[in-house]
A and B are shown apart, each in its own frame.
Chain A
Amino acid sequence: MKLKFFLLSLLALGFASAASAKTVELLNVSYDPTREFYVEYNKAFAAHWKAKNGDDVTIKQSHGGSGKQARGVIDGLPADVVTLALAADVDALYDVAKLIPKDWQKRLPDNSAPYTSTIVFLVRKGNPKGIKDWDDLVKPGVGVITPNPKTSGGARWNYLAAWEFAKRKLGSDDAAKAFVAKLFKNVPVLDSGARGSTTTFVQREIGDVAISWENEAFLVLKEFGADKFEIVVPSLSILAEPTISVVDRVVKKKGTAEVAKAYLDYLYTDEGQEIAARNYYRPRNQAIAAKYPGNFAKLELFTIDAAFGGWAQAQKVHFADGGTFDQIYAK
């Protein structure tokens, strides 16, 4: 009798557990080169969430140029979380559509940037054009591949890195503007995102040098072979801080606030940081970064706050309609 009661209780418990387990779906709207990173991260988080709560979580990914992705979310793409290339694109979710609070960046450590990256050069094996630093990119006959700063976050980091290099070397913003204008005269194709630029350079064999996210450059070496491409580290580059946020209005509507927040929090855990490092993103956790010395180039990095007064100012001066990019790229 006792055994029967025990078995029935177990059965009931089993049914109750099955009934209470939920399946949740999240949409992570991200920028172009994070595909591989988030594929690995999503698996890890799903396992973590299942172990912690017993619920299944499926994370869908959407990738594209960071600015373009932000516009997509503003226009109704139901992103539970955004993991975009730069803070200005996340800011737009507040500025344009009030999808997130104004102080979104203060909600997570490190100004909501759990990993960083920088900008380097990717050249063909043997570096036929002898590219060593930024000023080699403005030489006549050098084909430079970089995406469109209007749609790509990576392209904006590229643009600002080149600008700051020129400003320091040539001494003024006017000289920097002329330098960047000259650089863009060497750009034959403007892709909408970083992954498109990689395709242009690597698969379509266009150009002599691609200005690239560090993680994307390492990924190219891994995927296409170090016998075909090389990474050139410039003397100066920018500390790129991709930022993340829960999209409050969407998660409130979908009832996914808890899991969405946990999804982003997990990026700061040792496991999340480890996955980032493995995928060539610089983790905030320096102990973990130290485990992957070959994944990160050593170079002088400046911050956008120090050089340009933050993203809001940089966006306004350089990438807003009528900004310096429009001025130099007007045909």
Chain B
Amino acid sequence: MRNFIRTGAALLTATAFTVSLAAAPVDSSELQVLRDQVQALQQQLKVLARQIELKEEAATAAAPATPKITVNDKGVTFASADAANSLRLRGLVQLDHRAFFNDGGAAAGLNNNGFVLRRARVIAEGVFAKNYSFQLVTEFGGSAVSILDANFNIAVSPALQFKLGKFKAPIGLEHLQSDTWTFFNERSIANNLVPNRDLGITAGGDILGGKLNYTVGVINGVADGASTTNADFDNEKDFVARLFATPFKDSAGSPLQGLSFGVAASYGREKGTAGRTGGYRTDGQQTFFSYLATTITDGPNWRISPQLDYRNGSFGLLGEYTVSAVNVRPSATGLKTELQNKAWQLAAGYVLTGENSSYAGVVPVTNFDYSKGTWGAFEVTGRFANVKIDDAAFPLYASAAASANEASSLGLGLNWYLSKAVAFKLDYYQTAFDFAAGAPAVPTSTALRQDEKAFITRFQLAF
């Protein structure tokens, strides 16, 4: 339109010039007609310019009230003009391939190699009136469709926020990390001892200038590694609390700036209910420990988990130690015993391409683009983890023939971040098992007859 006006102005000038040149030979009436035409054209140009001006004014005035739509590697976000209300749609797809070695394969009854749709999630998050947010996570991966998270958050202030609904129990450090950004494809075997998702309410927030995060809450209470089935088994509840400090976060340049540590704990009671004891899995997702089906929980259960995270440039370290205690009976009237299972892990990563290691993931400086010769980011990772089952669990509450008494796992990995949203990960895991006294030379569980050796590769799309 502006070009049109410029062209029109040029034509007008030319016309006016022509008129002036032609002024002498033409009569006055003809000249007047030409003048009128020029004036009419000038008016038309001014009208067009004004209409553009008004459109621009209207657009400028409307801009502050225009909702914003953002599409990027964080998903699709619809936000009101004042950003007080928003809706974000995200997704996560993890396609794994698991390959196990030296386990006897099909001949031993182990048909565990193959592709697995580990996670396929549609995530909706939103904010209303700035202080009220929600999260709804639906899981289509695995063997059943489920709602993983369904919660809403009321932000009274940064220091006081209430979360209600279904969410991750605030205990395990690696467990609280996004599935997308853990060092390894699978969380460590130490993660078996912390509860997964539960229903309840928590209060928490950042205090002391954001250097201390606290969470306290009440949840229904689930077994180690288990998620709630959206129903409670009894009237008892678990109390949870977590403190996590980042005391040097403002100390720019200090090697301790990326140090954070804390402790989480839970306490609750279970009342004579069956099916509350969890089984523990290897990195390859094979069960290496489970209670006997007749075992029931009855009495106090508690957990404590000191935890640490350290980041310094490309280097990252995550460690945690967890004790999970549960009171069990072999039957409704059997002997009650408190069992204390313990686990720990230490994992580290180093981003070879120089990007920062972060609890919230590695963001490549450049995306993989073959035509441009850019390759994204590469990270090498290593981990050692151990789970020790209470010796008293055998043989009354667990079978020494079917369950290991201890598992120790070594993991090595290479992560290729093609972009913030796309990653390819290759992990090797080797897990060794020890057995309780009295266990047979050959365990009844074929998966436990040798060390678990597995390659797990993953293609991940997360936005």
Contact = CB atoms under 8 A, between A and B. Distances in A.
Judge: A and B partners, yes or no: yes
A204 B46 contact: yes
Contacts of B110: none
A90 to B, nearest CB: 22
A188 B43 contact: yes
Interface stretch (A91-99, A189-197, A265-273): A189-197
Nearest to A72: B65
Contacts of A204: 46, 49-50, 53
Interface in B28-61: 43, 46-47, 49-51, 53-54, 57-58
23 contacts: A143-B43, A188-B43, A188-B47, A189-B47, A189-B50, A189-B51, A189-B54, A191-B54, A192-B54, A192-B58, A196-B54, A196-B57, A200-B50, A204-B46, A204-B49, A204-B50, A204-B53, A205-B46, A206-B43, A206-B46, A206-B47, A206-B50, A207-B43
Contacts of A206: 43, 46-47, 50
Interface of B is mostly: helix
A204 B54 CA distance: 12
A207 B44 CA distance: 10
Shortest beta-carbon contacts, A-B, top 3: A188-B47, A206-B46, A204-B50
Interface in A233-260: none
Contacts, number: 23
Interface of A is mostly: loop
Nearest to A189: B50
Nearest to A141: B40
Given A196-B57, A204-B49, A206-B46, 19 more contacts: A143-B43, A188-B43, A188-B47, A189-B47, A189-B50, A189-B51, A189-B54, A191-B54, A192-B54, A192-B58, A196-B54, A200-B50, A204-B46, A204-B50, A204-B53, A205-B46, A206-B43, A206-B50, A207-B43
Interface residues of A, number: 11
Nearest to A208: B43
A288 to B, nearest CB: 37
Interface of A: 143, 188-189, 191-192, 196, 200, 204-207
Interface residues of B, number: 10
Contacts of A188: 43, 47
A191 B54 CA distance: 7
A192 B57 CA distance: 10
A200 B58 CA distance: 15
A204 B47 CA distance: 8
Nearest to A188: B47
Contacts of A143: 43
Interface string B120-135: 0000000000000000
B399 to A, nearest CB: 67
A189 B44 CA distance: 11
B35 to A, nearest CB: 13
Residue from B46, B49, B50, B57 having most chain A Cβ neighbours under 10 A: B50
B47 to A, nearest CB: 4
Contacts of A205: 46
A54 to B, nearest CB: 35
A191 B51 CA distance: 9
Nearest to A75: B65
A88 B57 CA distance: 26
A143 B57 CA distance: 23
Contacts of B51: 189
A143 to B, nearest CB: 6
Residue from B46, B49, B51 having most chain A Cβ neighbours under 10 A: B46
B97 to A, nearest CB: 55
B37 to A, nearest CB: 12
Contacts of A196: 54, 57
Contacts of A200: 50
Nearest to A190: B54
A237 B57 CA distance: 31
A207 B53 CA distance: 16
A246 to B, nearest CB: 25
Contacts of A207: 43
A312 B43 CA distance: 38
A205 B57 CA distance: 18
A143 B47 CA distance: 10
A192 B50 CA distance: 12
Nearest to A206: B46
B48 to A, nearest CB: 9
A203 to B, nearest CB: 10
A222 B57 CA distance: 26
Contacts of B57: 196
Nearest to B47: A188
Nearest to B49: A204
Contacts of B50: 189, 200, 204, 206
A70 B51 CA distance: 24
A205 B50 CA distance: 10
Contacts of B43: 143, 188, 206-207
Contacts of A191: 54
A288 B50 CA distance: 40
A202 to B, nearest CB: 12
A289 to B, nearest CB: 36
A206 B51 CA distance: 11
A143 B58 CA distance: 23
B265 to A, nearest CB: 45
